[in-house]
Amino acid sequence: MIATLLIVMAQAIGASAGPLEPRPLPADTSPLQARVDAAPDGASVDVGPGVYRGDLTLDRPVRLIGHGRPLLEGSGKGSVVRIRGPQVTVEGFDIDGREGGRLEADSSGIHVAAEGATIRDCRIRRSLFGIYLLEANGARIERCVVDGMRGRDPGEQGSGIHVFNTTHFALIGNEVRYARDGFYLQSSSEGRITGNIVTDVRYGLHYMYSDDNVFEDNLFQRSDAGAAVMYSRRIQFRRNRFIHNRGFASVGLLMQACEDIVAEDNLIADNARGVFLEGSTRNAFRRNAILESDTALVLYDSNREVRFEGNVFSGNLSPLLLVGRHTDTVFDGNYWSDHDEPDLDGDGVRDRPYRLSNVFDHLRGNLTAADLFAQGFGASVLGAAERMFPVLELSPVLDAHPLARAPELAAVPAPPAGTDHASGLGIVIALSCLGGGLTILRVRGARR
């Protein structure tokens, strides 16, 4: 199936780090190398405007500070900046990898293989990997911009920011576009990923075997997947935006074999599939806005102890695709824009439970070809008929206390400014108004 193909693709590209690149040959070395080698430990090396050609190795604790946006132009044979000593700072540079180096050597704009590095206000272009952290505990990357190689196949380049076997790291306020993946995290824990923008990549976040990380206020958009998270535990997602991720197997937020995940106050909108869960346990989704997607949720029957509470589901073509015959996922107190049962006693809860799935949704989840007819008239008729005269022994998927009015989700972020296509307009409408049969997100109605 399409969803399974997405997981296989994600797993296939995950790989361990390659051997460290050594110091470049003299002919390929930056003219700044002599100044760095002569500086005492802890010193600042100030670099003025200009173009500095060649690769640079920082193997001692120094601060390399650019003034007036100096350009470090690599040799085209490997990583432009190679950090091999602890407590190194690189700040204020433009870096050009010249589309050179080798993927198997992890050639990067900045490659870090030491503890305590800080990379700040750097702009990296035409590099296989943008910034690579290899066993770089305590690293901090902030306000950097990575432009990959537009038009190159994802398999022919690396990630914008790649984190491998690293702990206590911070990725703050960075921008990545046109790379293979925006962020790739593997075997890396206790990190903070805040305020980043990732767009026009394969996966905004590609994530494996990494525990105890916090993602807040990030934007993942216009990619094959906003986030593909696998084999990980105790991750927190708050106030992120997973939007405009559309394609053959696209999804806003995918989790496979994940445990104890918390997703709160996120905007998940205009995706082919909003949230995809397989083999995951004790995951909680609270106060998220899941909007304007073809299918809001894809759930496998291998999930256990998953809960959806206080979320808004609005403007989705289908609320659920269930793969399997049953699920113990709990839905309670969510708002569903297509649920038209009355609230006669005025307590803010509709008088009957909301049934998420019908017989056609079951067929879609278990027969690949059925998905081709998901929006047809026949599918609607079959769904209505099955509600009236059940013919399959399926365990119903119910929201026991569906809200009559959408709650005000004050912490959910708005879509980015400048959205100029129809789906973006639909999200804005859903976030801002009520009436005339339009979809709803924020209303100032009664709270539960």
Specify whether the CB–CB gap between 329 and 311 falls below 8 A. Answer: no
pLDDT value for 153: 86
SS3 35: helix
Question: Please, what are the domains in the chain?
Answer: 2-339 (2.160.20.10)
* Dihedral pair phi/psi, residue 264, rounded to 5°: -130, 140
Specify whether the CB–CB gap between 253 and 231 falls below 8 A. Answer: no
Q: Tell me the C-alpha distance between 304 and 270, whole Å.
A: 27
> pLDDT digit string (tens) for 367-390?
444 444 445 544 454 455 555 545
Owner of token pair 């995918």: 254
* Residue segments in the chain with a per-residue pLDDT below the cut of 50: 1-3, 5, 8, 10-14, 359-360, 362-374, 377-379, 381-382, 389, 392-393, 420-422, 425, 429, 433-448
> pLDDT digit string (tens) for 15-70?
567 789 999 999 999 999 999 999 999 999 999 999 999 999 999 999 999 999 99
* Cα-based angle 357, 379, 436 (whole degrees, multiple of 5): 80
pLDDT value for 155: 86
Task: Please state, in angstroms and as integers, the Cα–Cα distance from residue 72 to each residue in 49, 139, 191, 440, following that order.
Answer: 10, 21, 29, 50
pLDDT value for 445: 30
pLDDT value for 91: 98
- By residue count, the chain amounts to 448
Specify whether the CB–CB gap between 328 and 351 falls below 8 A. Answer: no
pLDDT value for 387: 52
Specify whether the CB–CB gap between 246 and 6 falls below 8 A. Answer: no
Task: Please state, in angstroms and as integers, the Cα–Cα distance from residue 305 to each residue in 85, 278, 330, following that order.
Answer: 45, 12, 7
Specify whether the CB–CB gap between 269 and 245 falls below 8 A. Answer: no
Neighbouring residues of 401: CB distance < 8 A, sequence distance ≥ 6: 332, 333, 349, 353
* Phi-psi category of residue 266: left, alpha or beta, with phi > 0 → left and psi -120 to 50 → alpha: beta
pLDDT value for 396: 84
pTM: 0.86
Specify whether the CB–CB gap between 429 and 314 falls below 8 A. Answer: no
pLDDT value for 225: 95
**What beta strand segments (E) does 62-127 contain?**
63-66, 71-73, 81-83, 89-91, 94-96, 108-112, 118-120, 123-125
Neighbouring residues of 346: CB distance < 8 A, sequence distance ≥ 6: none
Q: Tell me the C-alpha distance between 348 and 343, whole Å.
A: 7
